[in-house]
Structure 1
């Protein structure tokens, strides 16, 4: 669920950014008919998710949260990290978050017919609520967590996530800063040559 972090770390080629967003909706073997950049973005998304599972910092964040949240702790950390990234965006990116978000929305609208069905369905809400910029606000995080809680098949405490983030904010934000150092070293690199040539 950490769309902003995936978009920040992926190759800035438009297809790669699309793939970074597709990653939450495309499972299993990749369709080789997909453009190279989209496949690159999906694989980048999967590598980042796998890294988070093994990261000492990410695991520390999960342990800070109420154990009763169980499997939802990872979702909550994802959302908290996106919240902190949005709030501190100017530290990490030269482009204002509002402009970056607008470019992503235009990209999604331009490719709307090719988006995964669930992403297509979410797009109007994303545009109306300006999701990427709204991540700065804890009330937006709260509404997302309530919506996710209602969609999960198992009983869960995800709707209590806002209180958990606020209760552990200092520690979680310190973890986020350390996680960003790890991720920028491991994942953020200049655009790949063959993708640059296709621009």
Structure 2
């Protein structure tokens, strides 16, 4: 799950949208510097990541990657899952995608100081909303894969693993409702 799915899940479980994204920025187990609602969101983000990696549908999809590519399969599937969610948004949320993205980005921008505190960059609402909306388009996922690859020591390995991500999309879209239901149930139980 990437940003859009984490935000969707935070919205569905009435937990912190900011914490749902901070989970990708904050390092370490000590969350005492954060308000309780943000710490809860960070912990939830981490649980969701772990549950996603163990989920039978994701394990099956990861097995479709060549042996040397499986190390990067999780990253590819996380981004592709956001694309699948954006494509089928109206099945999973009553609010329009653009409105949800705009409101979520505004909340993250309002809490931007926490991203800086965690060693990340400040969030600018309009650009973050555009980023979230870009996940609805294949070229948005391609750009996200390029950005992610540039943070790796061997970027070509991720890009090679992602070359045929669109071919995996039908199976991911079919698995997404069950995955989201399971993650929402797990997140609700963990609260």
TM normalised by structure 1 equals 0.83
Deviations 1:121-169 (A, max 9, x none): xx35971770111110011100111121122013543224554222222
1:176: Cα distance to partner?
2.2
Partner of 2:9: 9
Matched with 2:120 is: 118
Q: Secondary structure at the match of 1:130?
A: helix
Q: Distance in 1 between matches of 2:21 and 2:64?
A: 28
Shift of 1:53: 2.3
Task: State how far apart, in whole Å, the 2-side matches of 1:133 and 1:57 are.
Answer: 25
Cα distance in 1, alignment partners of residues 52 and 62 from structure 2:
11
Total equivalences in the alignment: 186
3-state SS, counterpart of residue 24 of structure 1: coil
**2:70 matched to which residue of 1?**
70
Structure 2 distance, partners of 1:63, 1:126, is 37
Contact conserved, 1:17 with 1:41, CA < 8 A, in 2? yes
Question: What is the Cα deviation at residue 73 of structure 1?
Answer: 0.6
Aligned to 1:145: 145
Does structure 1 conserve the Cα–Cα contact (< 8 Å) formed by 2:101 and 2:129?
A: no
- How far has the Cα of 1:4 moved from its partner? 1.0
Identify if the C-alpha distance between structure 1 residues 102 and 58 changes in structure 2 by more than 3 Å, giving closer, same or farther.
same
1:42 Cα shift? 0.5
Structure 1 segments unaligned to the other structure (5+ residues): 193-199
For residue 120 of structure 2, give the secondary structure of its aligned residue in structure 1.
helix
Structure 2 match to 1:83: 83
Partners of 1:141 and 1:162 within 8 A in 2: no
- Give the TM-score normalised by structure 2: 0.86
Aligned-residue CA RMSD (Å) = 2.3
Deviation at 1:113, TM superposition (A): 2.2
Q: What is the alpha-carbon distance in structure 2 between the residues aligned to residue 155 and residue 21 of structure 1? A: 23
Question: How far apart are the structure 1 equivalents of 2:131 and 2:48?
Answer: 21
- Rounded to whole Å, the distance in 2 between the matches of 1:185 and 1:56 is 15
Aligned to 1:37: 37
Separation of aligned partners in 1, 2:107 and 2:124: 14
Deviations along 1:4-63, whole A, 9 cap, x unmatched?
A: 1111112335xx111111001112123313111101100110111111222111111111
Alpha-carbon distance between aligned partners in 2 of 1:128 and 1:85, rounded to the nearest angstrom: 17
Gaps of 5+ in 2: none
